A = this chain, B = another copy of it.
Amino acid sequence: MPAPIAHAVSRALAAFLSGQSELVAAIDPDLAELTGTLVEFTAGGKRLRPAFCHQGWLGAGGDPTLMDESSSPTAIVRACAALDLLHASALIHDDLMDDSDTRRGRPATHVHYSRRHGERGLTGDAGRFGSSAAILLGDLSQAWADELLRTCGLRPDRVLDGLRCFDIMRTEVITGQYLDVLAQTDPRTTLDRAMRVLRFKSARYSVMRPLELGGVLGGADEALRRLYREVGEPIGEAFQLRDDVLGVFGDPEVTGKPAGDDVREGKRTVLVLLAREAADGGQLAVLEHWLGNPSMTDDGAAAVRTVMTDTGALARVEAMITERTEQALSAISSAPLEGDDVAGSLAALAVAATARSV
C-alpha cells in the first residue's frame, strides 16, 4: 500500500486515540489499558481501506495534502483513518467468534485479556473475562470509528453524505459476517452463498465502499460513484479470493497466521467449495478429514494443498482473480478521473491488493 497515506493514517489514529485515552482515563484510570490495546491493534495492518478511500477522494478532485501546516493529519486523512477503527472492531469480534489465538503474529484481543486476568489476580473465569473485554473493545472501536469520521473536519454536507455510505458499509459487513457464520455451520453451503459472503463481508467492505466513500467526501457526482462501484467490486472480490488462497497456501512467516489456519477453522471459502465440487472420492475424503479439524497437522495442511492444486480449484481461483483484476483495470483506463496520475495510482493499488503475498 502507498506509504505516505499509510503513514499519515497512523498519525491520525494515534492522535485521535490519544485524545480518547485522556477522556476515558478521566472516568477511571483503569480504562487507559483499553485505549492502549486499540493503539497497539491499529498500529499494524495494511491500511488497505484507508488507501482506497484516499484514492476515491483524489479521483473526485480532492486536495492531496496529507498533513497541514502544523503537521497534523488533514481532514480527509482522519476520515480514512476511521475505516481502520471500524476494521479493528470487526477483527476483534471476528477473532473472538472464530476462536483465533493470534492476529498479526500477536495474541488476539480476547486471548490477551484472558492472560491479563491472571496477571491482575482477578477472580472468576479468565476466558470469560477475555471474551467480555473483546466484546466491549470491539463495541468501543465501532463507536469511535463513527465519531472520528463524523468529526473529521470536512464540510458537514459532504460528511453527512459520506455517513450514508458508511451506514451501508456497516450493515453490509455485519450481515455479511453473519452469512459467513451461517456458511461455516451449514453443510449445505453452496458456491453461490460463498460468493455472496465474499462480496458483502469483504469485497464491498474492503474496497468498493471505501473507494465510494472517498469519492462522496470529495464531492463525486453519481457517474463517478457508479464507476467506483464498478471498479471496486471486482477489485474487492479479487482481493478476497487472494486472501482465501493465502489462507491455505500463504507463508506463515509472511502472513503472521499459522499455516493452513483457514483449513483448521473449516472455512467454506470459494476455493474450498470449488475443490469439493471437483474432487474425486479420495480427494473428498482428505478435505472432509482435515477441514475444521482442530488437530490439523502440517502434513494435513500439505495434503489439502495438494487436493486444491490437483482438482484445479487453485487454478480456477487464480483465473477468477485475473479476470476481475483485468475487468477493473479496463474500467479504470476508460474513466474520467481527475488529477495527475490518479488512474495510474488506482490501477497500482488494484494490482497490489490482488497480487500480494501478505
Contact = CB atoms under 8 A, between A and B. Distances in A.
Interface of A: 20, 23-24, 27-28, 30-31, 34, 89, 93, 96-97, 99, 117, 120, 122-124, 128-129, 131-133, 135-136, 138-140, 142-144, 146-147, 150-151, 156, 160, 163-164, 167, 170-172, 174-179, 181-182, 184-187, 193, 196, 200, 266, 292
A156 B97 CA distance: 37
Contacts of A117: 185
Indicate the member of A96, A99, A140 with the most B CB atoms within 10 Å: A140
Contact of A143 (B133, B171, B185): B171
Contact of A124 (B23, B122, B123, B185): B185
Given A31-B178, A136-B174, A146-B146, 11 more contacts: A27-B200, A96-B135, A97-B131, A99-B128, A122-B185, A135-B135, A143-B170, A143-B171, A143-B174, A147-B167, A156-B156
Given A132-B97, A181-B132, A23 B186 contact: no
Contacts of A34: 175, 178
The number of times this chain is found in the oligomer is 2
Given A139-B142, A150-B163, A129 B31 contact: no
Contacts of A181: 129, 132-133, 136
Contacts of A170: 140, 143
A155 to B, nearest CB: 12
Nearest to A140: B174
Closest 10 CB pairs of A and B: A122-B185, A143-B170, A97-B132, A124-B185, A147-B167, A132-B181, A140-B174, A136-B178, A139-B174, A31-B175
Contacts of A178: 31, 34, 132-133, 136
B93 A123 contact: no
A171 B128 contact: no
Contacts of A163: 150
A107 to B, nearest CB: 18
Nearest to A266: B124
A83 B120 CA distance: 35
A143 B156 contact: no
A196 B25 CA distance: 13
